[in-house]
A and B are shown apart, each in its own frame.
Chain A
Amino acid sequence: MAFSDEQLERYSRHIILKEIGVRGQKKLLNAKVLIIGAGGLGAPAAMYLAAAGVGTIGIADADEVDLSNLQRQIIHATDDVGKPKVESAKETMNKMNPDVTVKTYHEFVSSENILDLIKDYDFIIDGTDNFPAKFLINDACVMAKKPFSHAGIIRFKGQLMTYVPGEGPCYRCVFKNPPPKDAVPTCKQAGVIGAMGGVIGSLQAMEAIKYITGVGELLTGSLLTFDAIKMNFHKVKLPKADCNCAVCGTHPTITKLIDYEQAECDGI
């Protein structure tokens, strides 16, 4: 595949980078990334991946755009209120970069459909806002041997980690089980600073780009936390993959996907 003059110009700042170059940009154009959740995290992640020229971007979300989303979900605009989020997200990405094929999945991700959703993708971004979805994505990615970026945001805090099969702990190695329903407030109850989605979602896009191009070190085996009040980033080294982990351990006890009960939330 040869670049058109327009592509050379569009991706010039990538191609100039020694670590990316022509080869890295071609990898991006051939890559397929699935973003689950077109909300506070998924919006910036989707936009940076579209701008970067990731050739196929899937986006899954069952919700419609709500006025209260717009404070942080920057892929949607005021005129999009009421539209399916995946449609609004697709329109924004198509406008940003015609090189990108956007596939939309206007549905809740569940144990029934997740394996089918992720199977054609190289990397998955967890942009969801609830523990049941986070554990489901983790377990499905472990079973299907897919790398993914986990992230969560609330109030002035955010965190992320990356799972790559065989290269470190999974989300369940670290967090074991979802907290009891309603034990942890959702963003709807607790609030979240809008720019937090920008910080953490952009870091998820960065992890996807680095995984695709093979550049540098990923957050495998590490949890990166961000506290915006104190303006502190902490990279916490995690214990090695737990051989007794219920899903990625040597004798997994979770062999079928679980739909945990959801707490009420309007989406991050």
Chain B
Amino acid sequence: MADYKIDDTVDITNVNCPITFVKAKVALEELEEGEVLKIHMNGGEPAKNVPRSMKEEGHEILDLLENADGTYDLIVRKVGE
């Protein structure tokens, strides 16, 4: 179990690429630097692309958890303002 506290959660299971990443970015924008966002998303394309895009933006990936129903929870710490 990683050591973090989730400050906010965003559900992007109801949208498709690239709105998945757009919604995650908007949610992250609301947070302060260092705060942690949980991104609830579908497996497949989102689970592959969203973590990569978040990393490219310079944020820290803390965890990628697979749920029993095939969805994923990506845990991201905001880097930069």
- A residues near B, CB below 8 A? 3, 8-9, 12-13, 15-16, 18, 21-23
What residue of chain A has the Cβ atom nearest to residue B26's Cβ?
Answer: A22
CB contacts (< 8 Å) of A22 on chain B: these are: 25-26, 29
How far does the Cβ of B31 sit from chain A's closest Cβ, in whole Å?
A: 12
Shortest C-beta distance, A64 to chain B (Å), equals 41
Q: List 6 A-B contacts (CB under 8 A).
A: A12-B19, A12-B22, A18-B57, A21-B29, A22-B25, A23-B29
Q: Mark B8-34, 1 if CB is under 8 A from A, else 0.
A: 000000000011011101100100000
Q: Does B56 contact A (CB under 8 A)?
A: yes
Measured between alpha carbons, how far is A5 from B74 in the docked complex, in Å? Answer: 22
Measured CA separation A239–B59 after assembly (Å): 41
- Residues in A with CB closer than 8 Å to B26 are 3, 8, 15, 22
12 further A-B pairs in the complex, CB-CB below 8 A; given A12-B22, A15-B22: A3-B26, A8-B22, A8-B26, A9-B22, A12-B18, A15-B26, A16-B21, A16-B22, A16-B53, A18-B56, A21-B29, A23-B29
Cβ A8 vs Cβ B23 within 8 A: yes
Q: Write the nearest CB–CB distance from B62 to chain A, whole angstroms.
A: 20
Q: Which of A9, A13, A16 contacts B25 (CB 8 A)?
A: A16
Name the prevailing secondary structure of the A interface residues. Answer: helix
**Chain B residues touching A, range:** 10 to 19
Determine chain B's interface SS by DSSP, over half rule.
helix
| A18 to B53 Cα, complex, angstroms | 10
Which partner residue on chain B sits nearest A22 by CB separation?
A: B29
Chain B residues with CB under 8 Å of A16's CB are 18, 21-22, 25, 53
A53 to chain B, nearest CB (A): 14
Write the B34-71 contact mask toward A (1 if CB under 8 angstroms, else 0): 00000000000000000001001100000000000000
Chain B residues in 8 Å Cβ range of A21: 25, 29
**Bound Cα distance A8, B15 (Å):** 11
Task: List residues of chain B with CB within 8 A of the CB of A13.
Answer: 18
Residue of B22, B23, B29 with most partner-chain A CB within 10 A: B22
Taken together as a complex, chains A and B put the C-alpha atoms of A18 and B21 apart, in Å, by: 12
The answer for the CA separation of A126 and B56 in the assembled complex, in Å, is 37
User: Which residues of B sit under 8 angstroms from A23, Cβ to Cβ?
Assistant: 29
Select from chain B the residue with minimum beta-carbon distance to A14.
Answer: B22
Minimum CB–CB distance for A52 against chain B, Å:
16
With a cutoff of 8 Å between Cβ atoms, the chain B residues found around residue A18 in the complex are 56-57
* List of 10 A-B pairs having minimum Cβ-Cβ separation, nearest first: A22-B29, A12-B22, A15-B22, A8-B22, A22-B26, A12-B18, A18-B57, A16-B18, A12-B19, A9-B19
Kindly state the separation between the CA atoms of A33 and B26 in the bound complex, as whole angstroms. Answer: 25
Give A65 Cβ to nearest chain B Cβ, in Å: 38
Residues of A within 8 A of B18 (CB): 12-13, 16
With a CB–CB cut-off of 8 A, which chain A residues contact B23? Answer: 8
The smallest beta-carbon distance between A29 and chain B, in angstroms, is: 14
Instruction: Identify the closest chain A residue to B58 (Cβ).
Output: A18
